[in-house]
Amino acid sequence: MKNFRGCMEVNFFGTLNVTKSFLPLLRLTRGRIVTVSSPAGDQPFPCLSAYGASKAALNLLTDTLRHELEPWGVRVSTVLPSSYRTGRCSDREHWERQHKELLQGLAPALLEDYGEDYVTETKDLFHSYAARANTDLSPVVDAIVQALLAPRPRTHYYAGPGVGLMYFVHSYCPPHVSSHFLKKLFVRKTLKPRALRMVAGSDQDLGLDMSLHHHNNNNNNNNNNDNKKLQ
């Protein structure tokens, strides 16, 4: 819950407070609001529920402000970047600290269900994804400049490679196709939670036991038939 509240405080309430503070001046001068959000607010990226929920709230707030401020002549735009390397996303020590805090904060029963190896793989996948992120932020900067200066700014700017395709797949393809696309694009898990692996192993053992039981029954039936023939 701390992660959910932290994301909401920064990504949603922080932006809301700043915007609210400047709204009187923006209405007076027919200014503009340009918000940098994330595709994670519109699409269900695996393992990003806290971050995605905060960005979803921000996206809806921005879209609503666009309608409410239109009579005042205030233009509102949202910039939706692809993956960029910012902050500490490529800092391995940062990911290790986050990983350690997560393991320490998980309830023992929850950690038992998922397994430490499952959590570690997720951390490694996030770090690998962040390490491959773009370092050239110019598409985002260019989108912000266009949203501020264009005579007729767009409502949404897709900044960076692949974002437009991502929204196309999400909007026009069946849900199972878009879900498969996101999993392949983002975090490709190979491990199942530990509890599910144990269940699968038990099912396999049960299947083997049933097969042996059936085989033994067949042998017994064959022996009985042979005895009857001899009699």
Catalytic residues: 51
Q: Which two tokens stand for residue 204?
A: 């396999």
Helices (H), 10-114: 15-29, 49-69, 92-105, 108-114
Q: What are phi and psi of 12, to 5 degrees?
A: -105, -65
Report the 10 Å Cβ neighbour count for 58.
Answer: 23
- Indicate the residue type of 39: P
Alpha-carbon separation of residue 109 from 3, 100, 156, 167, 207 (angstroms)? 20, 17, 43, 38, 28
Q: Which two tokens stand for residue 70?
A: 């239109």
- Tokens at 111, concatenated: 């950690």
56 close to 4: Cβ distance less than 8 angstroms: no
Distance (Å) of CA 224 to CA 179, 211, 215: 56, 20, 14
CA dihedral 212, 218, 220, 226 (to 10 degrees): -150
Radius of gyration of the chain (CA): 27
